[in-house]
Structure 1
Amino acid sequence: MQDAIETARKRLIMRSMRRGIKEMDLILSDFARRRLQDYDSDQLAQYEALLEESDLDIYHWVSGQSAAPVHFAPLVAEISAGATGLTRPHAT
């Protein structure tokens, strides 16, 4: 079971790096490297479902331009929290 979870993590990290929109490559690959090692199989499945959405929709959700669907809201909030500087300038 642990091997299957580790394989899923590696696959999701790769999918996070090759999105199609450069901004999403940066945001999601950074998130995946930082957080997926702590995710269980249910959390990985939720992240995988998010990756099925369009890059433009995910970018709008993460950057706060539109609200994420309720079922993705906690995950999008977590991604957004780590994306400061990628979706909006750093506060000085």
Structure 2
Amino acid sequence: MSGTTRSSADLDVRRRQILFRAWHRGMREMDLIMGRFADAEIGELSDEDLAEFERLIEVTDRDLLGWITGETPTPENYDTPLFRRLKGFHTHTSPIHV
């Protein structure tokens, strides 16, 4: 997979920016995890979910990858319903194993 498979034509500016950022994190594994989730969910996320996803985008790749894979415990302030959705999405749909 080389990047987004979702068109951003129907998205508002904020969602387009989030989608782009989700696919351009720096670490390819995190591009795939965050980007695939964004492709699938960006159109349906509430404003609160968008804010939480933006907050997750700011977390370093190494930390976020550790939380998602269970290598390191997720800090309580990041263990939100949206994070659990992201983690579950990766666990149940991802062909990549990180």
TM bucket (normalised to shorter chain) is 0.7 to 0.9
TM-score, normalization: structure 1? Answer: 0.81
Q: Percent identity?
A: 29
The 5 A counterparts of 1:46-57 are 46-57=52-63
Aligned to 1:44: 50
| Higher fraction of helix | 1
Runs of 4 or more, structure 1, over 3 Å off, are none
RMSD: 1.6
| Cα distance in 2, alignment partners of residues 33 and 75 from structure 1 | 15
Contact 1:63/1:87 (CA < 8 Å) preserved in 2?
no
| Partner Cα distance (1:44, 1:70) in 2 | 19
Structure 2 residues without counterparts, runs of 5 or longer? 1-10
Which runs of no fewer than 5 residues in structure 1 stay unpaired?
Answer: none
Q: TM-score, normalised by structure 2?
A: 0.76
Tell me the matched-pair count.
84
Q: For residues 76-87 of structure 1, what are the structure 2 equivalents within 5 Å?
A: 76-84=83-91, 85-87=95-97
Q: What are the Cα deviations for residues 31-84 of structure 1, in whole angstroms up to 9, with x where unaligned?
A: 001112111112101110111110011100111111222232122221111113
